[in-house]
Amino acid sequence: MKIAKKINNDLNKGQLSKLLKISDPFLMIDKLTNIVAGKTGCGIKNMHLNDWFYKCHFINEPVMPGTLQVEAMLQTIVALIYLGQKNKFSINLITKTSVNFHSKITGEGMLKINAEILQNKNGIVETKAIAFFKNKKVSSGQFRFINSEELKI
């Protein structure tokens, strides 16, 4: 039985950018905390009124687009997957998604994404994430990934 390894340090935006190979403005999480590699973690994004998407999405009533909420959930999950893999840069393909939106995100505050890897077996990774804004559930999703290296795709 493999024991999950708790990582003592949070990952900051620079470390996440390097790990995920994503940069601003599309890096949708500022840090990753409470990390148990390959198992659980919490993505954090501090939202500001001058965030680029607020300036161009529903100009009179700016909100964070749902697709960017999904992207924040996926970035949190993929960081956890990479931290739990031997080869951090193997390709993980998303094969299934199911997302629900519960409330809109507008204004300043903290977006917190609790992510969990439910199962990682035979190259198939089942995951879930729940996003909270100002401590209110705003979106949730379940995602399936295939690790193409393990499956020899």
pTM assigned to the model: 0.89
Instruction: Determine whether domain 13-151 maps to CATH 2.40.50.1020.
Output: no
Q: Provide the H-helix boundaries in the chain.
A: 13-20, 52-56, 66-84, 148-151
pLDDT in tens, 86-131: 655 566 788 899 999 999 999 999 999 999 999 988 889 999 999 9
Largest CA distance in the chain: 54
Phi then psi dihedrals of residue 105, to 5 deg: -110, 120
Joined together, the tokens standing for residue 71 give 């992207």
